[in-house]
Amino acid sequence: MDGTVSTGYVSEDEVPITTATSDDKKASNFQSQQIGTEDTSEKTGSRKIELTAGSSEQRKGINWFLASMFILGDLVGGGVVAMPVAFIQTGFILGTVFMLVICIIFVITGWLLADTWEIMRERWPEYREHCRKPFSEMARRSMSKESEWAVLIAVLCTIISIVMLIVGISLDFQDCYHEAYYPSISIDAILSLGIFLFAFNGHQVFPTVQNDMRNPTEFKKSVFVGFIFVALLYMPLSAYSFLVYGNSMADSVINSLQIIWIRYVADLSIAMHCILAIIITVNPINLQLEDTFDVPNKFCLKRVIVRTGLLFMALFVALSLPNFGAVMNLFGSTTVPCTCVVLPTLYSVYIKAATYDKDKDTWIKPTFLEVLRNTPKVLLLALIVINVITIICSLIATVMSVKEIIGVHFIPPCYILPFLAKKNRTRLEANVLNCCGKYMNISRFGSECSALSYALFLFS
């Protein structure tokens, strides 16, 4: 087959393109046709690839709305209780702006990630098959019906938690709102970016969800709707919590609720969400480890050992860091910008600037200069601005997070407490709460007040 095929941003005056045959045109139209309404074949160069997957509309998988629920289940969780606390450093207006800007940017990068996956499916049929490195190779993973129900239940648990939080805050409104104190905005507002970014983190899971769809081309719609749901859950609760409690919140808004049973229900719902949503969030690491240790692609003892070991490691980290606030700021300001902004934009521009070499029957990776030359200038400028702002804010937030961690007095984990002297042990009391008011001393029911956390580490 003669002719050089080029896709992406490459224009005809930059890369020579000869007239393609009818078979070439069929191959180039593959993205719009997907896999076709019946078994078809794609000819690329001298190679003939048989496609037996069937129609993307007819194949089994989740629909776009259920995919948006998977996104919602992946993103919403700990951010529900941590996001309101971030408003203490940003204030109402700046916090709302941060949330909207991050949400918009992450929708854009999620859209680019979905677009990149579609192109990879078109160019390399092996990406329509099983692969164990979902984010790094944008591959696929099959998801069972049990996983779908687990995610839906996780979303339901989050909604229950949010409802309980709103009810609890409303009941505290009369006593706390008039005594709330709103601190002025300072440079520390940058530190809260880590919490905002951490709350919207989840792009590494998107390729696996997209490939489990009945029609993967509709995943862009799922990203858009999913982030709308996330914003609708995050923003009202965060703003309302800050309005009522002001600067009295610490670590989690749940600690500020003054009705004990509501706090218990909210805590339990968030815990249930995290337990169920871990099916989604931890799966990319599971698959990477299975690929590293050559675990068979089926249920077996080796797979059980690897996945159980990972969960025990996660549990160990969670128990070792009872106060996760400072660490969340650090993770949010370092890893999240890379996986959710920088990498998706780079994936998109590089794959679209690639050219096809018919002699070698392969796609040639572009150089950095070729990416700059072949990418539409308006899009290139927009992505540069997004990445520059993200990197600068990330660096500032990282430095501030490290300084915060250095000054934090960490509470000893529970597995060390039995070996400490009795006077140095942690005292845990369920009725201790973050009382409201400027001086954090207002309690509706006479509960013991603590401006720091439930756990009071005592030294004498």
- What pLDDT band is residue 35 in, cutting at 50, 70 and 90? very low
For position 422, what pLDDT does the model report? Answer: 61
pLDDT digits over 312-334, tens only?
888 888 787 766 666 777 777 77
Q: Name the more confident of 161 and 450.
A: 161
Which helix or strand (DSSP H or E) is residue 34 part of? none
183-193 residue pLDDT tens = 887 777 777 77
The pLDDT assigned to 305 comes to 92
Distance CA 157, CA 274 (A): 9
User: Residue 410: pLDDT above 70?
Assistant: no
- 451 vs 180, residue with greater confidence: 180
- The string over 76-93, giving b where at least 16 C-beta atoms fall within 10 Å of a residue's C-beta and e elsewhere, is bbbbbbbbbbbbbbbbee
Choice between 311 and 283, residue whose per-residue pLDDT is larger: 311
- Between 78-123 and 260-281, two packed helices, what is the crossing angle to 10 degrees? 20
Q: pLDDT tens for residues 204-250?
A: 778 777 777 778 788 888 888 888 888 888 888 888 888 888 888 87
Burial class (CB within 10 angstroms; exposed 0-12, middle 13-18, buried 19+) of 421: exposed
Boundaries of every domain in the chain: 64-281+321-412
The arithmetic mean of pLDDT across residues 403-409, rounded, is 67
Residues in contact with 417: Cβ distance below 8 Å, sequence separation at least 6, in sequence order = 425, 426
- Does residue 458 register a pLDDT over 50? no
Q: Per-residue pLDDT for 45 more than 70?
A: no
pLDDT single digits (tens) 136-158: 554 332 233 445 566 667 667 77
Give the integer Cα–Cα distance in Å for 89 and 206. Answer: 31
Which DSSP category does 411 fall into?
P
The pLDDT-based confidence of 385 (bands split at 50, 70, 90) is very high
What is the separation of C-alpha 371 from the centre of its chain, rounded to a whole number of angstroms? 27
Percent of the chain with pLDDT over 70: 71
What pLDDT was estimated at residue 39? 37
When pLDDT is averaged across residues 76-89 and rounded to a whole number, the result is: 75
Please tell me which residue, 223 or 56, carries the higher pLDDT value. 223
Query: HEC profile for 109-120?
Result: HHHHHHHHHHHH
pLDDT band at 415 (very low <50, low <70, confident <90, very high): confident
Residues 93 and 40: their CA atoms lie apart, in Å, by 55
Whole-number average pLDDT of the chain? 72
